[in-house]
Structure 1
C-alpha cells in the first residue's frame, strides 16, 4: 500500500509541494517582475538588480531573452529600483507570488513599497 503522504518532501519544487501538500511547506510571499531583454540604457543595471533575487530565472524563447526576479519584503528596495527601470517597458509583467494578478501594478506594488526602508 502506498502511503498518502511522504515524510520528506524536500526534493519537491515549491510549486509541486503546494499542489500535492497544500500548506505543508510555508513559503515567503514574494513580489516579482518579468521583463524582456532590451537595448539601451539601464539594461545592464536591470539585469544586475534582477540577479540579486533568490529565485532569479532567465529564459530564451525564439531568440528572445526574458528575465524573471522575485523578492521578499527585505528586498523591496531592489524590486522598486528594478521596476523604475523596466516598469514602463512593453512586455514587463508584475507578478504576485509568481503569478500575474489583477491590479498588480496599481495595488500590490504600492503596498509592497511600504517595506522599503529609506537610508
Structure 2
C-alpha cells in the first residue's frame, strides 16, 4: 500500500514540476495515463529518458535515484539490499517478478518501495 499522505489530489502541468520526485507523484496520481498496462519497464524507460534529458541540458539533479551511465542508481542498490539479492536485469523487472506471486499491482509495490526508500536507511531493516 502506498503512503496516502504523499498523494496529490489534482494533477499539475509538467511546467509546475521541479524534480523527479514531483514527476513520480504525477505518475502515482494517474498511473494508467503514464504507464501502459502498469508496466514498470515503461517507467524505467521514462526515467532513463528523464536522466538523458538532464544530461543533454546540463542539469544536475543531485538526488536522482535511478539510472546513470554505468550504474543502475541508488534506488536499485537499495532494492538489492532490501530484497537480499542483486540483479543485473534492473529494478523494474525485479519488482514485476515480486508481484507475480503476491497479487499486488506492480505500480503499487513500486510506490510502496519508493516511499520506503525515501524515508531513509532505517527502513531497510525487516
Computing the radius of gyration from Cα coordinates, the structure with the larger value is 1
TM score, norm. by length of structure 1: 0.27
**Which structure has more strand as a fraction of its residues?**
1
